[in-house]
Structure 1
């Protein structure tokens, strides 16, 4: 697989999907055969990034290829990969509805079936840490835990993970739709009806083992 092209294409996908604005957000992918991480460069317009701009590093953060300065959130991406061996893609977004809840320091519960199937667990808001800091990276990993596929960064945005880039983007989409629906429930002055743990487990199994073309 051409991982550099995957990162370039995914940057455009994030921008055009409305998951970020300008140069904010960052994306990485890990090659499971080499454990090398391919990461977006810092502060570059996603419409201008080329394959030669992608930075390649090992899991300790040593540069292997690329001449650009890597994303400021390099430590966050590496922390996620080191703590979650099954994860092969990380997408850090700045979506509107999800970020509203992050600014309140609130979690987003699994209020819809799609969230129960895709998000893995409640989407928790990580404690605040400055962008690019070791503290933020550690807080992100703590909020993700071992089962969640998404977390919020307080007053900052969201981090979504997957075993493939497509899976990570599915998490991005489902998280933002869930946040929008949850915000509308709250605006009505109502509370949501909790989906039982039993039904959540059944839907996770369905999504993983039954749904779609295998």
Structure 2
């Protein structure tokens, strides 16, 4: 099977999307990119995660052509391709309709540094992409436009959800988890008053500290992020 190992990981992490509470039903999608072949593998459209098998995961090129699968790819394949086309270090993308990130996205509120753990995204503010209909080239283009302006490892998408990327699926998933937790903290802080948002200078110090957080990079005990 073409890119079998990557397809198996998409199945594994699709189930983690559900068990972690990052999404429900068939909402959200996951992809991985293989730079050697130039192909990405992405979860199939509308198949429940618990029923998805490796052969259902779709192999595509970044121009939207299906290379191998009996299933239709996720409707957001263009969104995923935007990350691989725009960010050379991207190897995995996690898109979820997680409750608190989606709540902020629907309110037009950026994810801010209410808690320093947002440093997992590499920035002090996770920006919001303006609304476009899901699964359209227009949404993919708006995401690319936002990626060109920001170093963030995650984005909110107005009236839609969130999306995160990393140089591995483990890291992309960890960023998604952290952003959801930070969004919940921000929402709760907004419910009782005005959140005390850390400054860009304070966050720059945190991001610098993160460079030495946890175990050495070659350790099998290395953390993938604040919650991963």
TM-score (norm 1): 0.93
Q: Offset at 1:202?
A: 2.9
> Could you list the per-position Cα deviations for residues 84-122 of structure 1 after superposition, in whole angstroms to 9, with x for gaps in the alignment?
111111000011111111111121112212112x11221
- Give, in whole Å, the separation in 2 of the partners of 1:193 and 1:172: 20
Separation in 1, partners of 2:162, 2:102: 7
SS of the counterpart of 1:213? coil
Is 174-183 or 32-41 further displaced after alignment?
32-41
| Aligned partners of 2:56 and 2:71 also within 8 Å | yes
CA distance in structure 2 between the aligned counterparts of 1:101 and 1:20, rounded to whole angstroms? 15
State the distance in 2 between where 1:36 and 1:26 align.
Answer: 16
Cα-to-partner distance string for 1:121-158 (whole Å, 9 max, x where unaligned): 21111111101111111122233444101111111110
Aligned residue number for residue 99 of structure 2: 96
The alignment's C-alpha RMSD in Å is: 1.4
Structure 1 counterpart of 2:83, from 65, 80, 87: 80
Q: Which ranges of 4 or more aligned residues in structure 1 deviate by more than 6 Å?
A: none
Aligned residue runs from structure 1 range 105-144, under 5 A: 105-116=108-119, 118-121=120-123, 122-144=125-147
Pick closer, same or farther for the CA change 1:65–1:19 going to 2, 3 Å.
same
Aligned to 2:183: 179
Cα contact 1:111–1:195 (8 A) shared by 2: no
Whether 1:204 aligns to 2:207 is yes
Select 1:152's aligned residue among 151, 156, 165: 156
| Matching residue of 2:27 | 24
CA distance in structure 2 between the partners assigned to 1:188 and 1:143 by the alignment: 31
Structure 1 SS opposite 2:45: coil
Question: Contact 1:42–1:72 (CA<8 Å) still a contact in 2?
Answer: yes
- Unaligned 5+ segments in structure 1 are none
CA distance in structure 2 between the aligned counterparts of 1:88 and 1:204, rounded to whole angstroms: 22
Counterpart CA distance in 2 for 1:18 and 1:142 is 29
Once residues 62 and 120 of structure 1 are traced to their aligned partners in structure 2, the CA distance between those partners, rounded to angstroms, is: 32
TM-score, normalised to structure 2, is: 0.88
**How many residues are treated as equivalent by the alignment?**
211
Aligned with 2:31: secondary structure?
strand
Where does residue 46 of structure 1 map in the other structure?
49
**Once the two structures are superposed, what CA deviation does each residue of 1:44-79 show, in whole Å capped at 9, x if it has no partner?**
000000011010012222222112100000110111
Following superposition, the deviation at residue 80 of structure 1 comes to: 1.2
- Stretch deviating more after TM superposition (84-93 or 102-111): 102-111
